[in-house]
């Protein structure tokens, strides 16, 4: 490498060094350390003691681990498809050329700016069985008033409904994708006699399929790591552990029960689950996702 | 000599790096408070905000006024247990941390807090200065690991208006559990389709002591050594009593009714709102009554006991906030000087009056009682002096055990399990946990 190029790359590395340092100290080291700790009895305050696979074996026998895994899976199973469908539908509507579009787009996006803790407190009131807006509305429609917060049968549906509140980010990503759908293809389809739904189904959706895949993968990661909202709304996963999610149990093990090694093992199991699901999504989408360059 | 573009680039780079580094140092300088001349700064993390936080701030201000050589910097911290844990692990703990009484065992077992035996001896602080449970909660495995700040005890709070409306004498609150049940039946009101409109009593409200009901029937949660005793006949009896409310009210009706309750600290609080007529509550309840329902006619009496167990009369749940010196604190001597001030009658009464709680000290000035706004302050002070005071078990696995008991309570209250099934689940889960915990402590040499 010539001297100016060497010097340039040195300068480049120097400029990038804050990020490299941050990456090494705050990401790479904790990641590697957590693999090691997952094989240790480690309370944070005492030196870690190597226990081999003991944490993983114990997790296998831990009923609460399986309950939280199941709760998280059930939540993801409903919240993820619902989120994808609703956000896509909203994006398609917001892509139409109607009056007041800027207002609608802003109105859909703004809720996703609300901090999660504030959101949880707000929805505690929204779901209040007697005074809550949700039940007041349902009562007017003659649909009764479900005990959203105190009945295990309703607590997870409450969180699934709530998850729709923060769809603004996904909608914006879909909208960006929709702007890139070539107008000439839509016009060509129209000339061939395609109706509105046909155009959406055969042109728009295939063209934005990489964006859909991206949102699905981000959704898998997000829903499987649900934490803040149930942590505030349902402390301890009440009622009867129906809202005790994986990340909550992991947090409790790490910081309340002082079982950091156990929590690290949980973290790596969740990583593997997310990794496998992401790989499966990518593999499953090979035939249905159309990339511009391919 | 003319510099080449390359050299100029390097110079710019070096200059920019210097500016960034300089800014960092300067900002650190700007944000670090200048120490007072000769004063040692003691960092104190406390969890309370609002009037409880103001009360502690008043104590800190008084201490700072009286001690020109020490300055306590009070910092309000949320999730104080997690953050203290991390700070100790990171070697940058505060000098004093305001934790909760039940944290003592866990933090002591992990060697996260200093033993205060010598400090107490030197300062003349003795167990006899305190009402027994409040000293006892700070004392663990033969050592003092903490000292109490504001304590609390509980009693049955009852709504006199609802009693009167139901044809009961508001001046004759229940003495036994059986009387409580029968009065509850009289006060409870159902609407159409067996919907619950008002409950006389429900063990799930406010839900903070779901783990403790066994004690009211003579049960214990462990034997003090190595046995979990969740599945005892007394605990089963308590959980059967809990479940009988769910059966009377109807599980579905009960959940629908509870879903209409507002936050504890709001006018929609079930007790303040007149939805629940009788409730186990702490000394702090007065504050919320005066704030959100000043017109409420209420009373407080010792929680009822089973008629066949008069020995369980005057039972109360005791709890307290504690002050600890975390391991690695930079100024432990000065930190204890502050704790000593809090433990003095003057400091403690200033704090407990501000937080409107009872004092953990045996010696209380007549002015404290005279000026205390809670009309039942003597009851809350006297109850923990009795033999039937419940303290959370001093177990390192207590947070996990408490979660398991809370879940058992929910299972029973939702009619999903029988009391014996729910408690067996707790027993089967927690006994191996305790065995393993003790094994680890033995391996580390913490116990023999």
Question: How many structural domains comprise chain A?
Answer: 1
SS3 state at B433: helix
Contacts of A130 in chain B (CB under 8 A): 259-260
Q: CA nearest B111 in A: which residue?
A: A45
Q: Which of B330, B284, B318, B279 is nearest to B101 (CA)?
A: B318
Interchain proximity B259–A129, CB inside 8 Å: yes
Kindly state whether residue A127 falls inside one of the protein's structural domains. yes
Dump pLDDT digits (tens) for B313-335: 999 999 999 999 999 999 999 99
Instruction: Determine whether the interchain pair B403/A147 forms a contact, defined as Cβ–Cβ distance below 8 Å.
Output: no
Separation between Cα atoms, residue B269 and residue A192, nearest integer Å:
65
Residues of chain B contacting A7 with CB distance shorter than 8 Å: 6, 9-10
**Between B87 and B445, residue with greater pLDDT:** B87
Q: What is the ipTM of this complex?
A: 0.89
| Helix spans in chain A (H) | 3-23, 29-37, 54-61, 63-94, 101-109, 116-126, 133-140, 152-163, 168-179, 183-191, 196-199, 205-207, 209-224, 228-233, 246-251, 260-284
Q: Where in chain B is the domain with CATH 3.40.190.10?
A: 40-153+318-390, 155-317+394-441
A16 is a domain residue = no
Q: Which residues of B touch A145 (CB under 8 A)?
A: 256, 259
Q: What is the CATH number that goes with domain B155-317+394-441?
A: 3.40.190.10
Q: What mean pLDDT value characterizes chain B?
A: 93
Is A29 contained in some domain?
A: no
**pLDDT band at B54; cut points 50, 70, 90:** very high
Structural domain span for residue A197 = 64-284
A-B C-beta contacts closer than 8 Å? 99
Q: Is B265 on the interface with A (CB under 8 A)?
A: no
The answer on pLDDT for B38 being more than 70 is: yes
Q: What is the pLDDT of residue B97?
A: 98
Whether A109 is covered by a domain: the verdict is yes
Residue A35 falls within a domain, yes or no?
Answer: no
Residue B150: which of B339, B357, B318, B336 has the closest Cα? B357
Nearest CA in chain A to B12: A11
- Reported residue count of chain B is 448
Q: Each residue of A188-228: pLDDT tens digit?
A: 999 999 898 899 999 999 999 999 999 999 999 999 999 99
Question: Tens of pLDDT along B143-156?
Answer: 999 999 999 999 99
Does residue A56 lie in a domain region?
no
Q: Model confidence over B413-441: pLDDT tens digits?
A: 999 999 999 999 999 999 999 999 999 89
Partner residue facing B268 (CB), from A49, A131, A257: A131
Q: Find the mean pLDDT for residues B242-264.
A: 92
**Residue A199 resides in a domain:** yes
Would residue A275 count as lying in a domain? yes
pLDDT band for position B29 (cuts 50, 70, 90):
low
Lookup: tokens for B67: 């001690």
Chain A residues touching chain B at CB-CB below 8 Å: 4, 7, 11, 14, 41, 43-46, 49, 63-64, 124-125, 127-131, 145-152, 236, 238-241, 252, 255-258
Would you call B89 and A45 a contact, using CB atoms and an 8 Å cutoff?
Answer: yes
pLDDT of residue A176: 93
B13 neighbors A14 (Cβ within 8 angstroms): yes
- pLDDT exceeds 60 at position B2: no
pLDDT in tens, chain A (294 residues): 567 788 899 999 999 999 999 999 999 999 999 999 999 999 998 899 999 999 999 999 999 999 999 999 999 999 999 999 999 999 999 998 888 889 999 999 999 999 999 999 999 999 988 889 999 999 899 888 899 998 999 999 999 999 999 899 999 999 999 998 999 999 999 999 989 889 999 999 999 999 999 999 999 999 999 999 999 999 999 899 999 999 999 999 999 999 999 999 999 999 999 999 999 999 999 888 888 655
Mean pLDDT of B142-171: 97
Q: Residue A290's pLDDT is what?
A: 83
Looking at CATH, the fold of the domain delimited by B40-153+318-390 is given as D-Maltodextrin-Binding Protein; domain 2 (3.40.190)
Q: At residue B27, does pLDDT exceed 70?
A: no
Q: What is the CATH number of the domain that holds A73?
A: 1.10.3720.10
3-state secondary structure B234-302: HHHHHHHHHHHHHHHHCHHHHHHHHCCCCCCCCCCCCCCCCCEEEEEEECCHHHHHHHHCCCCCEEEEC
**Cβ within 8 Å, pair B256-A145:** yes
Residue A130: predicted pLDDT:
81
3-state SS, residue B14? helix
Flag if B13 and A128 touch (Cβ within 8 Å): no
């Amino acid at each position: 490498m010539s001297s100016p190029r060497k010097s340039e790359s040195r300068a480049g590395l120097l400029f990038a060094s804050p990020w490299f340092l941050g990456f090494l100290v705050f990401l790479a080291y904790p990641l590697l350390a957590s693999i090691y700790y997952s094989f240790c009895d480690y309370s944070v305050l005492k030196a870690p003691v190597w226990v081999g696979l003991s944490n993983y074996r114990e997790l296998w026998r831990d009923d609460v681990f399986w309950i939280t895994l199941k709760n998280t899976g059930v939540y993801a199973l409903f919240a993820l498809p619902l989120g994808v469908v609703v956000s896509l539908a909203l994006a398609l509507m917001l892509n139409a050329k109607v009056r007041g579009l800027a207002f609608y787009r802003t109105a859909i996006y703004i809720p996703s700016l609300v901090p999660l803790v504030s959101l949880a407190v707000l929805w505690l009131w929204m779901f209040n069985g007697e005074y809550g807006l949700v039940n007041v509305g349902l009562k007017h429609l003659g649909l009764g008033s479900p005990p959203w917060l105190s009945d295990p049968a309703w607590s997870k549906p409450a969180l699934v409904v709530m998850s729709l509140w923060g769809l603004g980010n996904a909608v914006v990503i879909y909208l960006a994708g929709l702007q890139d759908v070539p107008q000439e293809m839509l016009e060509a389809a129209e000339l061939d006699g395609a109706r509105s739904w046909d155009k959406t189904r055969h042109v728009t959706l295939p063209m934005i399929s990489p964006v859909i895949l991206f949102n699905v993968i981000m959704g898998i990661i997000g829903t499987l790591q649900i934490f803040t909202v149930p942590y505030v709304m349902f402390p301890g996963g009440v009622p009867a552990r129906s809202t005790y999610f994986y990340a909550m149990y992991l947090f409790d093990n790490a910081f309340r029960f002082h079982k950091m090694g156990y929590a690290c093992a949980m973290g790596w199991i969740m990583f593997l689950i997310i990794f496998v699901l992401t790989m499966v999504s990518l593999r499953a989408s090979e035939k249905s996702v159309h990339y511009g360059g391919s | 000599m003319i510099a080449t573009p390359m050299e100029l680039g390097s110079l710019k780079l070096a200059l920019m790096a210097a500016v960034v580094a300089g800014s960092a140092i300067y900002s650190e300088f700007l944000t670090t408070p200048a120490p007072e001349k000769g004063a040692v700064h003691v960092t104190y993390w406390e969890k309370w905000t609002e009037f409880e936080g103001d009360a502690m701030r008043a104590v800190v201000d008084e201490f700072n006024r009286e001690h020109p050589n020490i300055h306590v910097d009070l910092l309000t911290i949320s999730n104080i247990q997690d953050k203290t844990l991390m700070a100790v692990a990171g070697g940058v703990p505060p000098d004093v941390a305001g934790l909760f009484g039940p944290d003592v065992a866990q933090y002591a077992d992990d060697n996260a807090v200093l033993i205060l035996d010598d400090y107490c001896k030197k300062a003349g602080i003795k167990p006899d200065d305190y009402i027994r449970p409040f000293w006892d909660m700070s004392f663990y495995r033969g050592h003092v690991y903490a000292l109490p700040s504001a304590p609390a005890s509980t009693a049955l709070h009852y709504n006199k208006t609802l009693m009167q409306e139901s044809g009961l004498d508001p001046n004759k609150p229940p003495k036994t559990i059986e009387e409580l049940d029968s009065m509850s039946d009289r006060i409870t009101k159902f609407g159409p389709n067996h919907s619950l409109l008002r409950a006389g009593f429900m063990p799930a409200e406010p839900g903070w002591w779901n783990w403790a009901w066994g004690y009211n029937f003579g049960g214990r949660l462990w034997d003090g050594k190595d046995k979990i005793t969740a599945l005892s006949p007394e605990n089963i009896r308590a959980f059967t009593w809990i479940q009988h409310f769910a059966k009377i009210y109807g599980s579905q009706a009960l959940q629908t009714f509870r879903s209409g309750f507002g936050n504890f600290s709001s006018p929609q609080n079930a007790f303040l709102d007149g939805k629940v007529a009788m409730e186990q509550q702490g000394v702090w309840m007065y504050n919320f009554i005066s704030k959100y329902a000043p017109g409420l006619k209420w009373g407080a009496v010792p929680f009822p006991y089973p008629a066949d167990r008069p020995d369980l009369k005057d039972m109360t749940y005791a709890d307290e906030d504690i002050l600890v010196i975390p391991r690695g604190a930079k100024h432990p001597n000065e930190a204890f000087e502050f704790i000593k001030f809090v433990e003095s009658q003057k400091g403690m009464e200033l704090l407990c009056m501000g937080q409107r709680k009872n004092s953990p000290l045996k010696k209380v000035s007549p002015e404290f009682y005279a000026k205390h706004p809670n009309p039942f302050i003597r009851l809350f002070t006297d109850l923990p002096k009795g033999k039937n005071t419940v303290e959370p078990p001093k177990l390192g696995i207590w947070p996990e055990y408490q979660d398991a008991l809370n879940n058992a309570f929910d299972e029973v209250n939702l009619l999903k399990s029988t009391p014996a099934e729910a408690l067996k689940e707790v027993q089967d889960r927690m006994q191996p946990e305790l065995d393993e915990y003790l094994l680890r402590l033995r391996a580390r040499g913490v116990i023999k």
